[in-house]
Each structure stands twice: as structure tokens, then as C-alpha cells.
Amino acid sequence: MKGLPLSKGNILITGFTNQHTGKGTRLKYDPVAQLFARAIVAAGYSVEHRPTEPEEDLTKFDLIFMGVSSLSSITAGYSYGALWAIGEAKKHNLPMLFFIDDWKMHGIQGNAAGLLAKPETITKKFFEGRQHYAWAQENVDSIKAGLTVLATDWFDVVMPLYKNGDHDLFKPKMPEGTNIIAIDPTDFYTDYNIPSTLAVDKKDQWVFGILSDQQKWLEKLDLGWPLAHRGSKASKAEAGGMPESELVQMYSDSWGVLSCPYWHAGSGWLRIRHDQAASTGAILVSQSKELSFISAAYDVTVKEVEAMNLTQKLKIANAQATAWYQNKTSQAEAAFQIDAAIQNEIEGKK
């Protein structure tokens, strides 16, 4: 009797940036690409997670899972190899799925079109530090082929989106007709196993961990409770950054977690603080209808929370957590969904 196959197939996970290509993050949090990689492995595939080498043999992979960004992004250090692979996949009908890990993806299509309109900018000196820059100078047509795909005709794109969100909010940011595959890989995020602090011991305090500058939004909130503001230098947080596990401990020790609004509020875009707030018994406040599609309990405001007694705070925290876990996608479900997306793409190219 023949044994079971060791894997369903070989997948190359790659892309434009350090995070796309498995090189992690400077602040040691789990990047979206790593969550998708874990889901793909859980679905039964063998994975290589790395940058693409121009002119390598892509046919040894059953599918290429390609993180996309704009060539002009300062983080796109591996863009030339990625663009070559995109062009090759379209030219030779190779199975490929795009994935997006950054909601600031509205410039991808326009940037590609702009570079194609001025081909001399594709290898301008500003990009000299990119991997395979010298190769790209000699193979501009191969880079243009990949840019043409980004400008006009995307592969199906996997995005880290909760179920029941308004995923169509992202469609204007990509070529018309692009198919969005919404998969929530939250359950593959590192679990710091930090229990919820007892309600009677929680502090009346807001915790806000952020990488960007959200000072104006914070001022508008007119907070009555103390604020524990932690983040990168760009965030202008006076206390600076901290390991994520310590931030989650602060969530557990406090009643309030702040979640600043972005244009995609209501889309269901993955933000790990949502899960971490629920798991530690904290109350999440965004004041932007960010999670209204999960529960009205998420529509609570800063002033409403600050006016609550202990029983009321515990009630709203429990209501949020209950709704969150009812909506949350399990590891098994996420693996099933990503397997279906991979198999559909492979079968469609036969």
C-alpha cells in the first residue's frame, strides 16, 4: 500500500519587502506574511519563504504566493526579482496568487503605471540599493512585464480580512475586476499566554501602542483616564516602544485599549490589537465603527467607558469578547480557505 504524500505541493512565498520574504520585523511582531505562511503549512504544503532570484526555475513550484507593493516604496528591497516573477507567471500561465499585507496599498497600481510611462525611472539611481539592481538595468523589459500586471491585470489577491466586513472598500484601490479572497489568519499569531487580570485589579487607564503619529486623534478624544502611550519614534510616544508581550500585559492590566481610525474602518482589516484586547478582558474603543459589523458593543465611546462602574465595564468587555470569538476564524478554517484558494488557482491554470 502506498503511503500518503508528504505534502500537497510546493509553494514559494515571496514578494517585495522583508516582511513578504520571511525576514521578519525589526520590532519582532508577527508579520501578515508569516501568518499566511503558517496557514499554508497547516493546509499541508511545503513552503520556501524567501526573495525571488531572477531567472530561477519557477516551474518547480506548484504555486507562487506573491506579496505585492509599489516599486517606489522604501521597503521594497526585493522588488526586481518579484516583478520578474510576476511577469513570468503571467507570460507562462503559472499559478500565482497575490497577497496584500499593508492597507496602504492604494499606490501600487498608480505607481506601476507611472513607472511604465517613464521607463527611465524603473532603474533610477534612487533604487541602486535594491537587490539585483545591476541585473534590472540589463533586463528592463522583464521588469516592465511585471509592472504591466500591477498596472492593469492582477492575479487573485489574498487579503487579511475578517469575515463579514465590507471587503469591497478595497476594490477601488486595485484594477477593475480584481478578485479579493478574504482570509483571517489572526489565530496563527503568536499567543503570549497572558491571562486577563482580575476585574477588580484592572486600572482605569487607556493603552495605545502605535507605530505612526496619531497625536491629533488622541487630542480629539479628550481622555479623562491616564494614557499609556507606547510606540516607535515616529509615533512620538514619550515612553517609547516596548516588546509586544509587555504591551499585551498592559492591555491585561488596564480597562481600555485604543484603536485609531483609518479610511478602511468597517472593512474587517486584521489588526492584532482586536484579538489581544478580547483575550485580556480589555475594552476596545475606536470611535470609528471599525468593528460595528461584529457587534454594537464595539461602538462604545471613550466618555461612555470612563463613566462606567465596575459591573458595567465588565459587562461591555465580556460582550465584546463574546462577539469577537463568535466571529473569529479558527486555524482550521483559515487553512481550509487558503487551501481552497491555492487549489482553485492551480486547477484554473491547467
In terms of CATH, what superfamily is 199-327?
Glycogen Phosphorylase B; (3.40.50.2000)
What is the predicted pLDDT for the residue at 335? 98
CATH of 10-185+330-348, one of 2.40.50, 3.60.21, 3.40.50, 1.10.3470: 3.40.50
* Distance from C-alpha of 184 to C-alpha of 332, rounded to nearest angstrom: 11
What is the predicted pLDDT for the residue at 213? 66
Mean pLDDT for 143-160 is: 97
Q: Is the pLDDT assigned to residue 112 strictly greater than 70?
A: yes
At residue 16 the predicted structure's pLDDT band, cuts being 50, 70 and 90, is very high
Instruction: Answer positive or negative: Cα dihedral of 258, 263, 265, 269.
Output: negative
At residue 105 the predicted structure's pLDDT band, cuts being 50, 70 and 90, is confident
26 or 126: whose pLDDT is higher? 126
What is the predicted pLDDT for the residue at 99? 98
* Distance from C-alpha of 101 to C-alpha of 1, rounded to nearest angstrom: 43
Letter string b/e over residues 104-138, b meaning 16 or more CB atoms within 10 A of that residue's CB: ebeebbebbebbbeeeeebbeeebeebbbeebbee
Mean pLDDT for 136-165 is: 97
Q: Is the pLDDT assigned to residue 4 strictly greater than 50?
A: no
The answer to whether residues 203 and 182 touch, using CB atoms and an 8 Å cutoff, is no
Query: Of the candidates 27, 26, 16, 337, which has an alpha carbon nearest to the alpha carbon of residue 187?
Result: 337
- Summarised one tens digit per residue, pLDDT across range 291-303 is 999 999 999 999 9
Mean pLDDT for 121-134 is: 95
Mean pLDDT for 29-53 is: 96
CB neighbours of 299 closer than 8 A, spacing ≥ 6? 289, 292
Q: In whole numbers, what is the pLDDT of the chain averaged over residues?
A: 93
Q: Is the pLDDT assigned to residue 347 strictly greater than 70?
A: yes
5 or 173: whose pLDDT is higher? 173
At residue 235 the predicted structure's pLDDT band, cuts being 50, 70 and 90, is low
Mean pLDDT for 246-272 is: 94
* Distance from C-alpha of 301 to C-alpha of 342, rounded to nearest angstrom: 41
Give percent above pLDDT 70 in the chain: 94
Least confident of 31-45, 131-145, 213-227: 213-227
Q: Is the pLDDT assigned to residue 261 strictly greater than 70?
A: yes
What is the predicted pLDDT for the residue at 240? 67
- Summarised one tens digit per residue, pLDDT across range 174-224 is 999 999 999 999 999 999 999 889 999 999 999 988 766 678 888 888 999
* Distance from C-alpha of 305 to C-alpha of 316, rounded to nearest angstrom: 9
The residue ranges of every structural domain in the chain are 10-185+330-348, 199-327
Q: Record the cell numbers describing residue 295, joined without a space.
A: 457587534
Cell 488557482 maps to which residue? 345
At residue 5 the predicted structure's pLDDT band, cuts being 50, 70 and 90, is low
What is the predicted pLDDT for the residue at 236? 67
Q: Is the pLDDT assigned to residue 6 strictly greater than 80?
A: no
Parallel/antiparallel/unpaired status of strands 180-183 and 157-160? parallel
Q: Is the pLDDT assigned to residue 239 strictly greater than 70?
A: no
Q: Is the pLDDT assigned to residue 2 strictly greater than 50?
A: no
- Summarised one tens digit per residue, pLDDT across range 42-75 is 999 999 999 999 999 999 999 999 999 999 999 9
**Angle, CA of 242, 244 and 247, to the nearest 5°:** 75
Q: Is the pLDDT assigned to residue 3 strictly greater than 60?
A: no
Same fold, 10-185+330-348 and 199-327: yes
* Distance from C-alpha of 40 to C-alpha of 331, rounded to nearest angstrom: 10
What distances in angstroms separate CA 132 from CA 74, 91, 140, 151, one per listed residue?
Answer: 15, 21, 12, 22
What is the predicted pLDDT for the residue at 334? 98
Cell 459589523 maps to which residue? 293
Parallel/antiparallel/unpaired status of strands 203-210 and 46-49? unpaired
- Summarised one tens digit per residue, pLDDT across range 276-287 is 999 999 999 997
